[in-house]
Amino acid sequence: MNEREKGLLAFHEETQGASEYFIVSYSDLLTKMAPAVLFHNSEFAGQVLEGVANWIGQMGRAKKNETLLCLNCDHKFTPSSLPSGFFIVLPFGKRTMMLITGICDQCFALEDLEEKAFQHLKKMWPEGYRVTQKGSS
Ligand SMILES: [Zn+2]
């Protein structure tokens, strides 16, 4: 079992079968999340920014065989080719861990990106199904 698989297993245990997810653009991180931390002391926005900073560090240090790939295609992220956004998964209602996956420019522009993201989750948790909540975004 490699580090990524170990991480997924730990995440799976933490979620107890229920997770929530969202997609955030790179620009929203800078124009919405960062101000939320600075001006409103948002703990959650801070966690997301920290998670993304860790992701970028991991990408920068990655050796050839551990390159971070796009959520939806084989695009490999490098410091000179950053994602347009991120797919972030959290254990439902807990926010104790975070799974972060980059999304390339082309995939970020897809109209059915949300559906693609859900299919990505289904690959990890084949028995998963979706419960949507209206109103909060
Ligand atoms: Zn892609």
**Contact in structure between 92 and 19 (CB atoms under 8 Å):** yes
CA of 57 to the centre of ligand 1 (A): 20
Encode pLDDT of 36-78 as tens digits.
999 999 999 999 999 999 999 999 998 887 889 999 999 999 9
- Positive or negative, the Cα torsion across 61, 117, 15, 32? positive
pTM for the model: 0.86
Q: Is 31 helix (H, G, I), strand (E, B) or coil?
A: helix
**Contact in structure between 98 and 90 (CB atoms under 8 Å):** yes
Encode pLDDT of 92-118 as tens digits.
888 888 999 999 999 999 999 999 999
CA of 110 to the centre of ligand 1 (A): 9
How far is residue 78's CA from residue 59's CA, in Å, rounded to a whole number?
Answer: 6
Band of pLDDT at residue 23, cut at 50, 70 and 90: very high
CA of 82 to the centre of ligand 1 (A): 11
How far is residue 32's CA from residue 45's CA, in Å, rounded to a whole number?
Answer: 9
Structure-token match 């931390």, residue found: 37
Q: Is 47 helix (H, G, I), strand (E, B) or coil?
A: helix
Q: What are the structural domain ranges in the chain?
A: 3-124
